[in-house]
Amino acid sequence: MPVCSRCGKQGLFVRISKWNVCSSCQRGIEEFAAERMEVCSADLKAAEASSSGEMRSRYLDQALAALSDLVPFDDFDPPVTTPRPSERIRDIMKMKEAISSEQADIARILDRADEILSTLSTPLGSETRIRYVLSLLDEAIGRGRSGDANAMERAYRLRSGVFTRLAAIDRSAAGIQSGLAFTRADRHRGGQDEAIVSSAAASTPGRTSSE
């Protein structure tokens, strides 16, 4: 006698489907699977549209939770969804791993930037290294789509520190230029120092004289 493996309904006229369940259980499972898959798709879309790795991970977790409700039906043949829930879960786990390894990369870049900045002695003469740090930070920020909010905040904070240092270098350089102009002017002309100093400072492109 046909028996539904799910609700136990039995009888000569009970129709048992491909999944070994009665037609009412069959419909129930199909509707449940469709609803869970809708939730899963919405979470995957939201993950794709998220601007931070943190948010992406969170949406992927929600997608995983929706899929895990379908794991009891994973062995059904034909499958309750294609690909099977367990296969989708595996794919999403891989996406999560990619996010966390990218986050680790960004953290390493920021550590390196921090390390270089902490070992600089004087601002002048360190410009090349500071500019290298800037390129590291730009890279970290460029990859920031996967970074978490804390990492990005750290990157922007370091970057603003770098600009402060570069501005200090510019001011020192402008000071040296002014000093040279002053010496020259003193030797050759005398009396008109101030005008020459300010014109030397103003004629240096990309430099701003000290306030």
Q: Which residues bind Zn ion (CB under 5 A)?
A: 4, 6-7, 9, 21-22, 25
Closest CB to Zn ion among residues 22, 106: 22
Query: How far is it, in rounded angstroms, from Cα 41 to Cα 48?
Result: 11
Could you give the CA distance from residue 17 to residue 25 in angstroms, rounded to a whole number? Answer: 9
Please say which residue, 6 or 112, places its beta carbon nearer to Zn ion.
6
Instruction: Compare residues 12 and 211 and give the one whose CB is closer to Zn ion.
Output: 12
Name the minimum Å distance from CB 4 to Zn ion.
3
Closer CB to Zn ion, residue 2 or residue 125?
A: 2
CB 22 within 8 A of CB 15: yes
Helices (H) then strands (E): counts for the chain: 6, 0
C-alpha 68/C-alpha 74 separation (Å) is: 10
Cβ–Cβ < 8 Å for 192, 182:
no
Least distance from C-beta 72 to Zn ion, angstroms? Answer: 15
Closest separation in Å from C-beta 68 to Zn ion: 23
Smallest distance, Zn ion to C-beta of residue 74, A: 19
CA-CA-CA-CA dihedral for 156, 158, 159, 162, to nearest 10: 160
